[in-house]
Structure 1
């Protein structure tokens, strides 16, 4: 893949596909390391893929126990895009087993594009907390 050839929409479709499928390896691969999670309670550095796998494994149990079976990206807004860096926010729409919306979560992201063209999440910020 050449730099910036995957649209940001396709990137987040791939990301939400991994979330929906519970693909822990895909989710671990889509983050840049170290990555940063920024919340109102503080910042957490994510040093390696295993931390990402563990976080999303716990999240899968939490969401499935509430009837959430899928996720879709909506309303993607680009705040700034320069070569190699995309900054913006979007809605993650939670879906039930029929694909009907059952809630949304607002998140901001900083996504970097590596020399090989791979897009990776460098910073994630939940905006509803």
Structure 2
């Protein structure tokens, strides 16, 4: 097993993540994370060590997406760097689609992914820009 820099594998992973995000599928979102994990931004950081903690961190996201009428999320992979044998850093800009078919620019993140037997999992999320 080794860190994936294959764009097909990474695109599939972020496609599943984006579907779970906009659908509010909290168990599927939690399943995208390695434990323990970390989220970092300019104003806060938090760690989580259980699927329930990951789920709680996304509870407010689904209503926000519904209120903004965002129906799909697409990860534009900007950069991929193999960090170690099992870790890959992926720079992503999220682009959303609203209910009228319009594109809505999203935010940029860096995801540190760990290779596992079942595919990549998110270890750390850093909000950038």
TM-score (norm 2): 0.85
Q: What count of residue pairs does the alignment treat as equivalent?
A: 126
Task: Check whether the contact 1:70–1:99 (CA below 8 A) recurs between aligned residues.
Answer: no
Structure 2: 5+ residue stretches without partners? none
Structure 1: 5+ residue stretches without partners? none
CA distance in structure 1 between the partners assigned to 2:12 and 2:19 by the alignment: 10
Q: In the alignment, does 2:69 pair up with 1:67? A: yes
CA distance in structure 2 between the partners assigned to 1:100 and 1:19 by the alignment: 18
Alpha-carbon RMSD: 2.0
CA distance in structure 1 between the partners assigned to 2:72 and 2:58 by the alignment: 13
Match 1:97 to one of 61, 83, 99: 99
After TM superposition, list the pairs within 5 Å mapping 1:87-126 onto structure 2: 87-114=89-116, 116-126=117-127
CA distance in structure 2 between the partners assigned to 1:73 and 1:12 by the alignment: 6
- Counterpart of 1:35 in structure 2 is 37
| Deviation for aligned residue 1:25 | 0.8
Say which is worse superposed, 45-54 or 72-81, in terms of deviation. 72-81
